[in-house]
A and B are shown apart, each in its own frame.
Chain A
Amino acid sequence: MKSIKLSLFSLTLLLLMVTGLSGLAGGAAAEPNSGKTYVIGTDITFAPFEFQDVNGKYVGIDMDLMEAIAKDQNFKYEIKPLGFNAAVQALESNQVDGVIAGMSITDERKQKFDFSEPYFESGVVMAVGINNDTVKSYDDLKGKKVAVKTGTEGYTFAKSIASKYGFTIVPFDDSSQMYEDVKTGNSVACFEDYPVLRYVANQSKDLKFVTPKEAGASYGFAVGKGKNKELLEKFNTGLANLKASGEYDRIKEKYLGEDAAVSVKQSRGELILGSIQPLLVGLGKTLLYTIVSLFFAFILGLIFGFMKVGQNRFLRGVATVFVDLFRGIPLIVLALFIYFGIPQALGFTMPLFLAAILTLSLNAGAYVTEIIRGGIQSIDRGQMEAARSLGLPYRKAMIKIIIPQAIRVMVPAFINQLVITLKDTSILSAIGLVELTQSGKIIIARTYESFTIWAEVAIMYLIVITLLTKLSGYLEGRVRRG
């Protein structure tokens, strides 16, 4: 019992240390100053409001506005590209101080957030593929599929007219996936805010407009209801100053004007060369998250595994509940619950890194518990009996006789779990964790080159996992030979 308490204590300590260190690393990037650094959530892909340029820097109308306002009002901030839905949830659960993500001001949202003065007049428009000659009005959508991005005004509008015009809605979490669906012809059209579609049409030359834009909502900067009043005031004052000085129009023109810079179309070779480096960084993160969370999963597995094979009925019960619980919850639900749910309920901020490691550790921990239990129980009972009959205490018999034999049984299963956890890190891109999959999404958000980038990502996973599988085979062989 004492040693379990001790292990739990050191586990907590280690978790705190790791996350604390990562926090320090993040904090060191921002200049040390006396004022508060606001954390601003945003989308990862919502050109021309926020997107990564070729150098990996976040640019766009929202980003430039934020920068100019912060300069004007003299405050520090840090941008967190979480994805639209994740950013909104993060604001709800107080994980971020504000959200600027081309967010329309709606009555529904006003109940949860306080909005700034509108900084952009928008409105939904429909776009179709450049070569599409059949869809000329909403009437032509009958029986067709229409792509939309969840949580957007485009989604709400499309939904409101879907039954009237008889089309089906295909929802996406990510803008580039939505455009891709139209370009490939899976969907005939998409609905999205006018500036966004206009920018995409400018850049890719793959989309065109056949209907006028709907009268629309306005975009606002949001903070939690009743929270961060001073930030909201600074934003409003800064925005007014920018409008007065003409800076506001310059920013708008930069992205939407007739002579807005069109990014140069890269050849596939250039694209691959340019994307390899950020993808490798993402792969590194994937490996880091995998290794750190498997380390903790292993500790959890040891604790609960031994509780499960032990003689104490209560501890056995506790371990069984642990395994059933975390094996029974899908990883993505667990991630959302830990990152958004718990902080909202308890009112604190959870670092993304901690949430990711916790999620993966608990999930893998449940499986490692079962691997360890299975390994130990696969050892003939006679081994324990022989050791005990010689006068060895349970613990000594376990450590010297049972575990060394059980480890041989467990090694292949451990490698298998390593592969599974490595692949599972990609699921955490749902809460905005930047690992290999999310890195791929971000590059596609900029380049709209799904095929090339997803192929690169897939090959990177394949290479790493194949190497691990080979290692597993090698270790298995060694174990079998003794």
Chain B
Amino acid sequence: MGKIRVEGLKKSYGANQVLKGIDMQVKQGEVVCVIGPSGSGKSTFLRCINRLEDITEGKVIVDDQDLNDPKTDINKARENIGMVFQHFNLFPHFSVLKNIMFAPMELGKMNAKEARDTAMKLLARVGLADKADAFPSQLSGGQKQRVAIARALAMNPDVMLFDEPTSALDPEMVGEVLGVMKDLAREGMTMMIVTHEMGFAREVADRVIFMDGGYIIEDGTPEDVFGNPKNERTISFLQKVL
């Protein structure tokens, strides 16, 4: 039984169909990287998995909960699905510490002391214990993204979604963020990562999915997809990026 199950997923914006029928599963503890050219629908696909996008057709099931079932409490479901965004989206009016403590406290998961301890532990884990009292505007891009990961982890989710987490970073900062993500993968977190970092995908992913034109074109181990691509479009894409 998959941790994440996607069945016949279609998504349109008006007349423009972005996702044209996607079926896939992600197992507990699996790390799946989604690659593909821009406009292929990979970010939209990822955003359907915590229902930031309402879907047009099909099913998205996370932890046996159908996210688009009206009976599902989407807020409760989202507590279990962490998300990290390309542009970090830290709350600029909160300190780093408050950014991380905010959701667990606001949603009654922890009291102030527990939230603070958790936040400090997470900050230490992403190497930013000394930045607890700083504000987001005082941080570099890499630091911001590491805080954003800590913020998502504070809710203790089962699944983590990453939407191009390093695309907005200066090259010298990509490593520090990927390092944190690698640690997370090693600890057994179920992860879906939309990324352009092919080296990272090859090294960390259990599976790589190549998307184009609203479809999944290839789905396999990194060795298969990178080493022995079967589809013409995969080959042409990889030639361009590798």
Q: Looking at the complex, which one of B76, B87, B92, B148 makes contact with A405 (CB distance below 8 Å)? A: B92
Q: Mark A367-395, 1 if CB is under 8 A from B, else 0.
A: 00000000000001011011111111100
Given contacts A385-B52, A385-B85, A396-B106, contact A390 B91 (CB under 8 A): no
In whole Å, how far is A391's beta carbon from the nearest beta carbon of chain B? 4
A109 at the interface (CB under 8 A from B): no
Q: Which of A386, A388, A401, A405 gathers most chain B CB within 10 Å?
A: A386
Within 8 Å by CB of B102, from A380, A388, A400, A405, lies A400
Query: In the complex, what residues of B have CB within 8 A of residue A482's CB?
Result: 135
B104 to chain A, nearest CB (A): 9
B89 & A386 in contact (Cβ 8 Å cutoff): yes
Indicate if the CB atoms of A390 and B155 lie closer than 8 Å: yes
A residues contacting the other copy or chain, number (CB 8 A): 18
Is the CB of A404 closer than 8 A to any CB of chain B? yes
Answer whether A405 and B103 are a contact pair too, CB < 8 Å, given A382-B85, A385-B52, A389-B83: no
Chain A residues with CB under 8 Å of B82's CB are 389-390
In the complex, chain A residues whose CB is within 8 Å of the CB of B181? none
Contact residues of A between 383 and 442, Cβ < 8 Å to B = 383, 385-393, 396, 400-401, 404-405
- Given A390-B152, A392-B103, the answer on whether A383 and B89 have CB atoms closer than 8 Å is yes
Mark out the residues of chain B between 83 and 99 whose CB falls within 8 Å of any chain A CB in the assembled complex: 83, 85, 87, 89-93
A388 touches B107 (CB 8 A): no
CB-CB under 8 A for A392 and B85, given A400-B102, A404-B93: no
Q: In the complex, A386→B78 CA distance in Å? A: 11
Chain A hits for B90, CB < 8 A: 386
Nearest B residue to A407 via CB reads B93
Indicate if B50 sits at the interface (CB-CB under 8 A). Answer: yes
The yes or no answer to B151 lying at the interface (CB within 8 A) is yes
Q: Return the contact of A391 from the options B78, B85, B148 (Cβ within 8 A).
A: B78
Decide if B81 is an interface residue (CB 8 Å cutoff): yes
> CB distance B151 to A390 under 8 Å?
yes
Let me know if B152 and A383 touch, CB within 8 A: no
Do the beta carbons of B89 and A390 come within 8 Å of each other? no
Q: CB of B164 within 8 A of chain A?
A: no
Q: From residue A190, how far is it (CB to closest CB) to chain B in Å?
A: 63
B111 within 8 A of A: no
Contacts of B107 in A (CB 8 A): 390-392
A391 touches B103 (CB 8 A): yes
Q: Provide the residues of chain B in CB contact with A390, threshold 8 Å.
A: 78-79, 82, 102-103, 107, 151-152, 155
> Contact mask B152-164 → A, CB, 8 Å, 1/0?
1001000000000
Inter-chain CA distance A181–B76, complex, in Å, is 74
**In the complex, which of the residues B50, B79, B93, B135 has the most CB atoms of chain A within 10 Å of its own CB atom?**
B93
Which among B89, B106, B152 is the interface contact of A380 at CB below 8 angstroms?
A: B89
**A400 CA to B85 CA in the complex, in Å?**
20
Contact of B76 with A391 in the complex, beta carbons under 8 Å = yes
Q: How far apart sit A380 and B90, CA to CA, in the bound complex (Å)?
A: 11
Could you name 20 residue pairs across A and B whose Cβ atoms are closer than 8 Å?
A: A380-B89, A382-B85, A383-B89, A386-B83, A386-B89, A386-B90, A386-B148, A389-B78, A389-B81, A390-B82, A390-B103, A390-B107, A391-B75, A391-B79, A392-B75, A392-B103, A392-B107, A396-B106, A400-B102, A405-B92
Where the two chains meet, the residues of B that have a C-beta atom closer than 8 Å to any C-beta of A are 50, 52, 75-79, 81-83, 85, 87, 89-93, 102-103, 106-107, 135, 148, 151-152, 155
